[in-house]
Structure 1
């Protein structure tokens, strides 16, 4: 069979499946007993992870297995990596060579080293002996090779470079700015393999506890048919509009991105259907691929999974999972809205035709989609009330009653689904394209929303852990896969119920196997990324990166953020989303916090982590290593580099948003009320659409240059009203540092005090500044408030000097980088108290008036253009 499809539009279906398999679940599929054995291993891994996440884990599994679950998790990943992924392109695909069996067994056994010798390691305090260090080194080598096979060379190269820095960082050929004292083999191996600081650290723990269940949940949902249902619904709602296939691609990719942990799989899964249809209505190969890339990669920033980064942020930032997805939601949502608008502009600019013969107004379409999502959100929220009534009525048997009610709802929705035919994938290359009718197909898959409601309920309402929430949602998916076929057959009056039940069992087994194989890369990515994290904690390279960025930016805050973004982009090249986030956050998050504080910018840690995450995933788009762009080009038949550059242009709003929410944390819904949150959403949506119009050169009609500049300026004002208002009315008034006690005495509980502390750096002895944002938490005299914050004040000669703060006080860690024992004192140089300021929303009025003026001018110009005879 030809590698190209019949119309020259890209790879054939067989080749595309090979591409997905090679990137996500392993390119090798041996037949016979060996193939069955590998399927059984993957099946056992999934069942083990489900049992580990269940409430019964501590009762059913021995304590040693629960305590060493990370080792077992990695052992499965290592074994399957060597058996499922061939070493080279020329390696056999239909059988497993002997040396790969040896490597698979060795990798699994060495991964379990900590399990087998748990008591010995505990007694030694995690310090490797002569035997341990050689096993650990062998384990790292096997891990890097497994990562190279499953993830490509980038991950293995980056991890190897960091490990080499541990050993050779003290060499003379290493530049002074990043040189460190080096470590012995024994110390490095203890840190990287024997303890939980390296490979078996937080990242692998998150993969073990949370990520596997969510990836498995997504695989089961897709196996049940949800992916096809979401794509059909998107095309039914949007396919008939101008540029409809591209709009449907965006919405379909957003839906599948919710359950997918891979941007490449997302590109190929939805792109095989969307890209040919986009080309049919006038998108070039490169633009069609770029739309799919931009929308698929954006799936990685969309809660709840976020390419597994959401679960890592919980551990790294120290906030709850609900808070992480709350903060991440608004930027992701408005980014998708902007992408839909981008493809709309492309369609209007190029006067693209519509597909199908139906005409439905854009207003009705948008209203219907908004109504669906609003209704679904309301349903997820409202579920708590009947649950509360059931718990109040039957507190002892509430769990059984609720399970029965969910079962009844499921059967009722299946009865509805049985009234419609099962949805089959469409052929995008068919001469006669018939778009699905939403009113006819919506009921065929409504029951797919039930496990998502269960997941959201446990996460958002019950506030259960992500792992336990995913467990209950996965249990419901078990039921759906086993029963959907036979129950629908019963409702349709069909006689093949036994065959339908057997097919359901096969679907479940296939979903469990697919979930495990999809986890191979993520498990290895988190393990290999642990080497980078371990290097950062062992060598202190994070502080070096801060110095490097500070030197390159010359202390300019915007330049500093720009350099951090570029470094995050470079560090993320060729890495999967999860590993990508671990690497960039380990190296760059601390840089933004530290240098931001020195520049007077107090940034919440979640904003910093989202900043580096956004830039890290852009590496999937950006040439020369943009993996998603290469996958899209393989589907479309376009040029990969041009596809990548076009996708990057379409993703400009994803690049701009991190800079916005670093300075305006309202976009992350931090410390905002419901009313403020709704206002922020509306204004941010308008701002992102205006920004898109400015960068795309089209608003009502084609922009003139000054109109594009004005639109971008309007977007900036809408995103950053504080910037304009602060220049008209300063938000803080200066108080004399010598009067800090009197200032604190006059402040109310809940007020914020900004203090700038200056003094010599503990390491370099160079002068530096650190800004502190302090909350007045208790009604007490000023002296007591200062003491509670950690200030040990020593006024002398008109200077408010400071002594080293007491351990455990709020400012202790912030001031730990100062040298309190040198000749130059550490002192307070500025005290800023909040000042009365008009509402910053007032600046929206002139901005929106200017926007209306531009729209009016363009309408007049458009009218004149239409009046000119052809």
Structure 2
């Protein structure tokens, strides 16, 4: 997705790189301190968060892309000037916090300048990171707020002055400092930093070794390694394109070496990597925004996503297995595969922060609290590993474990702030005594990478606040929702189909986060009105926002895999759709059978719908690949697809018809394949 694009700064002077390096560290430290100790109001934290984002984006991303290099020296000066101005203006909300609260809605001259400049800078920063798509969409909403009273018909509003527009969008909690920015400045940043520290600690190697050791030697093993390693990576970083460019560097060449086509290898990696956004416990940034938007605990979002996420990866796993059978591909030699249990035995401690995070989330703690503690545990592991591998002597090792115990007890006794203070003491000890791996460099790199990776997500969250602010100011969502209800009030499927098309079309130009926010603001209330459960309606929008990154012609995840696979992004996209075919149908199944997202009345209902889903996945995969036990003719593929589709419709007798047709088809196909083999 666009939010993962890397800035082009090959020609950045060394002095600029040094300054950006320290700014990124300061940004990460600011977020950690505010998460642990809450020394400022939420509004101030949001403003300074956006200020840091503007400073880093304007200094990292050139004004123009490509060989122009941001207008060279002039562009560099402009970038630093804009970045410093944006950062300095963000402190206006801190210095004059009380005054802004007292005169809310009444702008003085300074408010006009600060508000207008910051709003324009957010638009420009988003354009530099993501291109024109999202700024243009948000610009249309902004224009509607200013001139919407001139429109004819029902979409005209009563008219709002520029003071109302600037007050709503640049101050308060409904514009660029709205709920998405709140989530970005708290949960999202911490979890990105959490994933960055785990990656530096060696989590990618652990996941790859485990996947290679468990399935690398089986039929089509290299592709199965891609599915498993990308799924495991998704549990800690929740980012599709980041998964493509990290695990894909290893898995795509491996798949090609063992006979998969370049397009199919890229499609498998893109499909598996995008699934990271729906894989608990971390999931993607959208999950945190969803929890805040619909006012439910994050753990409820995790529960709803768990079974569909598993089924998504089962689909990808099954598809690569069938493709391997169709092409007669084998796995890696057993001797070339690492032992999964050796990998777990040597690096099992890396799973402790993830286990702690899951435990805290399911114990009722907030994502902010859980993420902060998980981050602290990861820091301990990185520095502790340096102590345990490099320091000789029972006394020093004993001191380390005592301090670790004190830090953990401090967390349970005095709270997260004390936990971080005691963790800092532990880090200081390691810093002084370490003789093994350079843990300081790992930690510093994690801080810098975390800040850099957060920029695209943060600026997208700030800019989509414009849409939310305009919707709340003008009430346009009510009018649009009424029109959609009028179209689909007697046909839920039609309303779902229109929502899906909206998500896929918006996803061609904007990332998953703003896609979800825009579509959920317009369509989710409509689905709720039509009887779809609240969580299910928002998850439906979320899922198709993700699938948009696999759908041509844009297909951002596929184009991220293209340079690694050395294949056209469009060809990879078509293969990704083929691999993820069940991902386009599963959200519909969840709407008609909410038990799939644990929204049903009993576990029996959940078990039944999961069984149906697995059968349907098996048949859809066979139809898409053209192979089951043996090759399928075109009309057999049609029968397989139609039989599986009966299990989704949820009408009287459709389950019975679907299961009967699937059973008869499988029995007949096995008999025909054996007869053909005997004849041959």
Output the CA distance in 1 between the equivalents of 2:677 and 2:613.
33
Q: CA separation of 1:579/1:678 partners in 2, compared to 1, >3 Å: closer, same or farther?
A: same
After TM superposition, give the deviation of residue 92 of structure 1 in Å: 5.7
Q: CA separation of 1:855/1:93 partners in 2, compared to 1, >3 Å: closer, same or farther?
A: farther
Alignment of 1:273-672 (within 5 A): 273-357=250-334, 434-460=336-362, 462-490=363-391, 500=435, 503-550=438-485, 555-594=490-529, 596=530, 602-672=531-601
Q: CA separation of 1:507/1:500 partners in 2, compared to 1, >3 Å: closer, same or farther?
A: farther
Q: Does 1:85 align with 2:20?
A: no
Given the two structures, how large is their TM-score scaled by the length of structure 1? 0.70
Q: Does 1:234 align with 2:211?
A: yes
Alignment of 1:822-837 (within 5 A): none
Deviation track 1:112-150 (CA, whole Å, cap 9, x = no partner) reads 332232222211133334442332121111001111112
Q: CA separation of 1:122/1:258 partners in 2, compared to 1, >3 Å: closer, same or farther?
A: same
Partner of 1:70: 46
Q: CA separation of 1:123/1:490 partners in 2, compared to 1, >3 Å: closer, same or farther?
A: closer
Q: Is contact 2:194-2:375 (8 Å) kept?
A: yes
Q: Is contact 1:240-1:355 (8 Å) kept?
A: yes
Output the CA distance in 1 between the equivalents of 2:70 and 2:165.
36
Q: CA separation of 1:543/1:342 partners in 2, compared to 1, >3 Å: closer, same or farther?
A: same
Output the CA distance in 2 between the equivalents of 1:682 and 1:223.
39
Partner of 2:418: none
Higher alpha-carbon Rg: 1
Q: Is contact 1:81-1:146 (8 Å) kept?
A: yes
Deviation track 1:681-738 (CA, whole Å, cap 9, x = no partner) reads 4443333223322343333223345544443344345445x5225x9xxxxxxxxxxx
Q: Is contact 1:200-1:530 (8 Å) kept?
A: yes
Output the CA distance in 2 between the equivalents of 1:119 and 1:67.
11
Give the paired residue count. 641
Output the CA distance in 2 between the equivalents of 1:236 and 1:470.
30
Output the CA distance in 2 between the equivalents of 1:36 and 1:672.
57
User: Which one of the candidate residues 229, 246, 255 is aligned to 1:269?
Assistant: 246
Partner of 1:724: 652
| Structure number with higher helix proportion | 2
Output the CA distance in 1 between the equivalents of 2:26 and 2:545.
33
After TM superposition, give the deviation of residue 47 of structure 1 in Å: 1.6
Output the CA distance in 2 between the equivalents of 1:709 and 1:42.
54
Gaps spanning 5+ residues in structure 2: where?
395-429
Partner of 2:234: 257
Deviation track 1:182-203 (CA, whole Å, cap 9, x = no partner) reads 4221111111111211111111
Q: Does 1:200 align with 2:128?
A: no
Output the CA distance in 2 between the equivalents of 1:49 and 1:29.
29
After TM superposition, give the deviation of residue 848 of structure 1 in Å: 3.9
After TM superposition, give the deviation of residue 476 of structure 1 in Å: 0.7
Output the CA distance in 1 between the equivalents of 2:277 and 2:673.
39
After TM superposition, give the deviation of residue 604 of structure 1 in Å: 1.0
Q: CA separation of 1:603/1:127 partners in 2, compared to 1, >3 Å: closer, same or farther?
A: farther
Higher relative contact order (CA 8 A, sep 6+): 2
Partner of 2:107: 128
Output the CA distance in 2 between the equivalents of 1:724 and 1:182.
51
Q: Is contact 1:293-1:647 (8 Å) kept?
A: yes
Q: CA separation of 1:544/1:702 partners in 2, compared to 1, >3 Å: closer, same or farther?
A: farther
Output the CA distance in 1 between the equivalents of 2:71 and 2:265.
32
Q: Does 1:53 align with 2:35?
A: yes
Q: Does 1:139 align with 2:123?
A: no
Q: Does 1:97 align with 2:82?
A: no
Secondary structure, aligned partner of 1:698: coil
Gaps spanning 5+ residues in structure 1: where?
1-18, 359-433, 597-601, 728-842
Output the CA distance in 1 between the equivalents of 2:619 and 2:106.
58
After TM superposition, give the deviation of residue 67 of structure 1 in Å: 4.8
Output the CA distance in 1 between the equivalents of 2:393 and 2:241.
38
Deviation track 1:737-768 (CA, whole Å, cap 9, x = no partner) reads xxxxxxxxxxxxxxxxxxxxxxxxxxxxxxxx
Q: Does 1:689 align with 2:618?
A: yes
Q: Is contact 1:28-1:94 (8 Å) kept?
A: no
Given the two structures, how large is their TM-score scaled by the length of structure 2? 0.88
> For structure 1, which segment, 560-569 or 641-650, has the greater mean C-alpha deviation from structure 2 after superposition?
641-650
After TM superposition, give the deviation of residue 531 of structure 1 in Å: 0.6
Q: CA separation of 1:154/1:484 partners in 2, compared to 1, >3 Å: closer, same or farther?
A: same
Alignment of 1:183-222 (within 5 A): 183-222=160-199
Secondary structure, aligned partner of 2:333: coil
Output the CA distance in 2 between the equivalents of 1:139 and 1:489.
49
Q: Is contact 1:545-1:591 (8 Å) kept?
A: no
Q: Is contact 1:25-1:520 (8 Å) kept?
A: no
| Structure number with higher strand proportion | 1
Deviation track 1:281-335 (CA, whole Å, cap 9, x = no partner) reads 2222111111111111111122223321111111111211111100111111101
Output the CA distance in 2 between the equivalents of 1:254 and 1:32.
38
Secondary structure, aligned partner of 1:170: helix
After TM superposition, give the deviation of residue 336 of structure 1 in Å: 0.7
Q: CA separation of 1:492/1:305 partners in 2, compared to 1, >3 Å: closer, same or farther?
A: same
